[in-house]
Structure 1
């Protein structure tokens, strides 16, 4: 199991069908990085009837999108609850931020004051044909959000969730015409976000590939290079020795 030598605060960006959920799950397990999903947090607030949950529920029931400041508040409250707003912590955010405004709010209001800025933003680049193939083979356990793929991650029992045994279903928006509309909307909202992180030094890193295994192999190497490579550890020791000699 690779060991991180430095804190890694990671965000994965990817259009629908890019395999972002699969890469997130593998990254969390492989490096034992803790993560939070904005969707899971929001569902918990709604279920528990918190002030945030009640407000979010009223907005969602009207068919509207949650405003950026509310989503930022939801994620920030969870980061504080887990005491992750620290320069020494590692974590992965799933599903947030989605827009330039959300990223700017999160950085200026929460991460920068805590010196806990994002230090790796991964942009997944997958061909449209590959994404269409994935959504055509995708099944979802709606209550939990667990996702399966009939090609490379099938359920143990056909049509049933591995953990609960409940029926799996297809997302209503897993349709080619709907997918292309979602892809267009994703690109419109994400391109400014990508540009924002491009200006944040060596934070943004893009990876391309047609399969999850190909992408994850590259992702693993990059995480190790940035946060856990032995060579970097040796370089740090050499620098310290050089400084002592001076």
Structure 2
């Protein structure tokens, strides 16, 4: 199947992901952003059947199942007309029932086990819009190789951007960050230092460093991120859609992304 000018991208978790997504959206107005987190919050706020279930799970400290997130993404794409069921395929919505996986009389809103939601159709049950306006960045999902495999059953991704900034640069940015608690003003001793060491410029009050900004905390966090991300990156490398970009700053990375985007899609 030809996907025409439609681009289905995702940014792998990493330093500067949000900044680069925002810049791509401004540079290429035909792009949209689909955030799994925003979709989840919207459904909770609107009290959709799935939103009610997800809210109940989160209130008890549980994790929202991958099947729920996939259904949210699926619904967003079909609502926008970017996924169109082929003739004869059932259209599944946020409150659909299914004869597969659940009793036919049991609706999504009454399922006692959210992790056993009826499966979505696969990509073979859909036609994909080739319109440039159907191009989007997927933000916040997938985060694991298992999630990527599930997403692949629904939707082909044609570019994955892995943003890499050297660990010393990351630590320098984060661990030199100091905050004025009362106002939330943020300083960085590397590039935005206070006029007086560890004092707020406006009030003269003491600045603090949050516990989770300390070097030992972030070194462990980065180590865990690397371990978790490797299988995901390997999955997309095997699919032939992974592209890695390196740089010490967002301003250094952005032109490289624009150049690669132009090369691949002629945008």
Q: Same fold (TM over 0.5)?
A: yes
**1:193 Cα shift?**
1.1
Q: In structure 2, do the counterparts of structure 1 residues 177 and 59 end up closer, same or farther at CA, with 3 Å as the change threshold?
A: farther
Q: Does 1:29 align with 2:31?
A: no
CA distance in structure 2 between the aligned counterparts of 1:121 and 1:76, rounded to whole angstroms? 19
Q: Is the CA contact (8 Å cut-off) linking 2:32 and 2:136 kept in structure 1?
A: yes
Q: Does 1:12 align with 2:6?
A: no
**1:149 Cα shift?**
9.0
- State which of 150, 156, 161 in structure 2 corresponds to 1:105: 150
**1:105 Cα shift?**
1.1
Q: Deviations over 1:33-71 (max 9, x none)?
A: 111111111111111122222222222222232222222
- State which of 158, 167, 174 in structure 2 corresponds to 1:128: 167
Structure 2 partner of 1:63: 61
Matched length:
192
Q: Is the CA contact (8 Å cut-off) linking 1:134 and 1:149 kept in structure 2?
A: no
Question: What is the RMSD of the two structures over their aligned residues, measured on CA atoms?
Answer: 2.7
Relative to its length, the structure with more helix (as a share) is 1
Gaps of 5+ in 1: 112-116, 140-147, 153-157, 159-169, 230-246
CA distance in structure 2 between the aligned counterparts of 1:218 and 1:197, rounded to whole angstroms? 20
Structure 2 partner of 1:166: none
Structure 1 partner of 2:82: 84
Q: In structure 2, do the counterparts of structure 1 residues 134 and 200 end up closer, same or farther at CA, with 3 Å as the change threshold?
A: same
Structure 2 partner of 1:41: 39
Q: Deviations over 1:217-237 (max 9, x none)?
A: 1000000000016xxxxxxxx
Q: In structure 2, do the counterparts of structure 1 residues 149 and 118 end up closer, same or farther at CA, with 3 Å as the change threshold?
A: farther
Structure 2 partner of 1:219: 257
CA distance in structure 2 between the aligned counterparts of 1:23 and 1:123, rounded to whole angstroms? 11
Q: In structure 2, do the counterparts of structure 1 residues 70 and 172 end up closer, same or farther at CA, with 3 Å as the change threshold?
A: farther
**1:177 Cα shift?**
3.8
Gaps of 5+ in 2: 84-127, 180-185, 193-199, 201-208
Q: Deviations over 1:75-118 (max 9, x none)?
A: 2222222222324131111111111111111111x21xxxxx21
Q: Highest Rg: 1 or 2? A: 2
Shifted more, 41-50 versus 171-180: the winner is 171-180
Q: Does 1:183 align with 2:222?
A: yes
SS at 1:197 equivalent: helix
CA distance in structure 2 between the aligned counterparts of 1:210 and 1:40, rounded to whole angstroms? 29
- State which of 217, 231, 234 in structure 2 corresponds to 1:195: 234
